Amino acid sequence: MKSIFHVFFLFFLTNLSSQNISVKYTNIYDLSVPMTRESRIIINPLTLSVVYHEDFNSTKRIGKNGNEESNAAIASVKRSLDKYFVTDSDCKRFLYDDFALKNYKVEDNHPFTDWDISEESKLIAGFRTYKASSEFRGRKWIVWFTPDIPFPYGPWKFCGLPGLILEAHDAEKQWTYVAKEINLNSKDQIMIPDDKLFTKVSIKEFVTLKDEFHTNFLNSVDQDEREAVMVEKRNLRAGIETKFEWE
């Protein structure tokens, strides 16, 4: 399968213009406050430069009737800085993010491994995709990738399959990514924040920083206040990653 992928990859490059590949996704977060958010991945097929960008200003709350509500309904999660993931062909990545009013460039080289690829397939946005699954940092993930776009990337931190990931969700379907628009000849340019504005840290340092911040917050409030803000000491990590490889 790998040799077939390499042949198709070379054919794809020779028939591609100098334009970039752009895929827009809708992110669906089925959490205590259900939300949607728009995101996009841009790939330069000649340099293999890849940027995935989450647009926080597009965040909308999903109402009880299943419809999206106005942005103002969930303004508390909006930030001045969006999330950017920069990944290379070896699945090494940097995350540009902010936390506690500071900007961080987070080095995170831990890859998705042991992908289990099945023969099950379906069409997404006109592309034939194949099902694959893997476990990563406390969650089992099911994704659909297309060899017709032979680049080993996807939204968020997904990487390592012989084709672009067009759909992904965890086993509980709390976190879902679905491609809604694919442009193989896009004029969209790869833009990333200025490194000078960021403090470079490892993923372990970044996670430790956030864990300590949340622990200190819990220790600073009494029991009644803790219950009022619905924070539980046993559940500091309610995000997309719940367990890390060094733990």
Per residue in 153-184, pLDDT (tens digit) is 999 999 999 999 999 999 999 999 999 999 99
Q: Are 162 and 150 in contact (CB under 8 A)?
A: yes
The correct CATH number of 2-186 out of 3.40.50, 2.10.260, 2.50.20, 2.60.40 is: 2.50.20
pLDDT tens-digit map of 61-106 = 887 777 766 554 454 444 556 789 999 888 899 999 999 889 999 9
Among 36-40, 103-107, 156-160, 223-227, the minimum mean pLDDT is found in: 223-227
pLDDT for 226 equals 53
Query: pLDDT: is 191 or 226 the higher one?
Result: 191
Confidence band (pLDDT; 50, 70, 90) for 46?
confident
Question: Span 107-111, mean pLDDT?
Answer: 92
Instruction: Supply the pLDDT for residue 219.
Output: 78
Pairwise CA distance, residues 63 & 66, whole Å: 5
> How much is the pLDDT for 4?
43
Position 128 pLDDT exceeds 70:
yes
Q: What is the pLDDT of residue 176?
A: 98
Check whether 17 has a pLDDT greater than 60. Answer: no
Residue 161 pLDDT = 96
Judged against a pLDDT cut of 50, whether residue 9 lies above it is answered with no
Model confidence at 6: pLDDT above 70: no
Please give the average per-residue pLDDT across 188-194, as a whole number.
87
pTM confidence score: 0.85
Query: What's the confidence (pLDDT) of residue 3?
Result: 46
Percent of the chain residues topping a pLDDT of 90: 58
What pLDDT score was predicted for residue 70?
Answer: 57
Q: For residue 152, is pLDDT > 70?
A: yes
- Reported for 169-173, long-range contacts at CB under 8 A and 24+ positions apart, including other chains, are 169/141, 169/142, 169/143, 170/139, 170/140, 170/141, 170/142, 170/240, 171/139, 171/140, 171/141, 171/142, 172/139, 173/30
Q: Where are the domains of the chain?
A: 2-186
| CA 30 – CA 109 distance, rounded (Å) | 27
pLDDT average, residue stretch 218-237: 58
Structure tokens at 44: 């330069």
* 48: pLDDT strictly greater than 70: yes
Question: Is 198 a residue whose pLDDT tops 90?
Answer: yes
Instruction: Give the model's pLDDT for residue 52.
Output: 96
Evaluate if residue 214 carries a pLDDT over 90.
no
